[in-house]
Amino acid sequence: MATTTPTTVTRRATPRPLSTRKLDMLYLAFFIVHVPIMFWMFMTTVPCLSHDNDNDDNNNAQPLSSVVDLASILPSFLVSPLSHTLLAYQLERFQDQFFVSPPAWFTAYMWIEAVYHVPISLWMVWGLFNDHPLVPLHLLIFSLEVAVTTLTCVVDISSWKGYSSAQKSDLYGLYVPYLVLACLMGVDAFVRVKRQILQSGGLEKGKAL
């Protein structure tokens, strides 16, 4: 009885043109923008805001001191005045408590971005452009991590006291799109990884992703 040898997924000799991969174009744009945003976060000294006890308006908060300084992981010459200017705008515009008095878990999330998001985002720019076969697997892992951490932030924001519905809506506008993209990326990546596994076992016919 003849036996068949399972086929394996190998790297494509000729990568598919990026223009034919619509979702990959979206992901590539995201990672290109994501990298400088992460470096901005790391280069910024996060100030602590105090509130006037006689005024419940959050807009009266003023920066006092550094409570989380991820700039320490970068050389001092990389910490630019622009970073502080952008942070000051974010605090004034959104009053984001994660950059005011961050809980321990949020600090851990920022370190995850430092040690995982930065290198994988740089690799994804290269991998997506070159249509690398490991892109789906990395997309799946990345999207799961981003979805969980972002959902944590969204749920925590919903419990903040002293914030109006409009203020929370502004904050949701910062985090929810990130969560939606992560979910889209995760579903797409799962389908791709599943197809690769089935193809490698000879259980599915068709072109490799």
Question: Average of pLDDT values for 192-201?
Answer: 89
Residue 48 has pLDDT above 70, yes or no: no
Give residue 127's pLDDT: 94
Mean of the per-residue pLDDT values of the chain: 76
pLDDT tens digit sequence for 63-108 = 332 333 344 345 555 555 656 666 677 777 788 888 778 899 988 8
Q: Mind spelling out the 3-state secondary structure of 15-61?
A: CCCHHHCHHHHHHHHHHHHHHHHHHHHHCCEEEEEECCCCCCCHHHC
Q: Is the pTM of this model over 0.85?
A: no
Q: What is the pLDDT of residues 149-192, one digit of tens each?
A: 999 999 999 999 999 999 999 999 989 999 999 999 999 999 99
Average pLDDT score over residue span 140-150: 96
Residues 6+ apart with CB under 8 A from 208: 9, 12, 133, 195, 196, 199
pLDDT for the residue 44: 54
pLDDT at 153: 94
Q: Give the model's pLDDT for residue 113.
A: 84
Does the structure show a pLDDT above 60 at 55?
no
Q: Say which residues have a Cβ less than 8 Å from residue 109's Cβ, sequence separation at least 6.
A: 149, 152, 153
pLDDT of residue 54: 42
Task: Say how many Å lie between the first and final Cα of the chain, rounded.
Answer: 32
| Contact (Cβ atoms closer than 8 angstroms) between residue 94 and residue 175 | no
Q: What is the mean pLDDT of residues 130-154?
A: 95
202 vs 46, residue with greater confidence: 202
